[in-house]
């Protein structure tokens, strides 16, 4: 197995990241196993990966790995899904007010 090491996977790729992505395509085409290992925590990693040819199983973020959260699936979360751990709470709709500010 081949491992590529990097700090993170930014949306704007550096030359090193472009080279890693090209090597990943090449290794994938020839059936060679590889992993890209990222050492910095990145809350947008999986979102940034969508713009690449990488799959979740080909990337290991050290923070995700040690939390056993390497597979991330898209899900929609609404306000009603939030639980702040406080009993007897409920959501109240705010009244929208229009405020017009002007000077004379």
Q: Is the pTM of this model over 0.85?
A: no
Helix (H, G, I), strand (E, B) or coil at 28: helix
Confidence of residue 101 (pLDDT cuts 50, 70, 90): low
Contact 56, 49 (CB under 8 A): yes
pLDDT at residue 57, as a whole number: 87
Cβ partners under 8 Å of residue 2, min gap 6: 27, 32, 33, 34, 35
pLDDT at residue 79, as a whole number: 77
The Cα–Cα gap between 28 and 25 comes to 5
Contact 78, 55 (CB under 8 A): no
């Amino acid at each position: 197995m081949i491992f590529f090491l990097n700090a993170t996977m930014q949306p704007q790729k550096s030359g090193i990241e472009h080279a890693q992505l090209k090597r990943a395509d090449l290794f994938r085409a020839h059936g060679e196993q590889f992993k890209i290992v990222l050492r910095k925590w990145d809350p947008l990693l999986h979102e940034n990966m969508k713009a690449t040819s990488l799959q979740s199983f080909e990337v290991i973020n050290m923070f995700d790995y040690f939390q056993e959260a390497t597979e991330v699936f898209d899900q929609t979360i609404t306000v009603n899904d939030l639980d702040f751990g406080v009993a007897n709470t409920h959501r109240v709709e705010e009244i929208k007010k229009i405020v017009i500010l002007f000077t004379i």
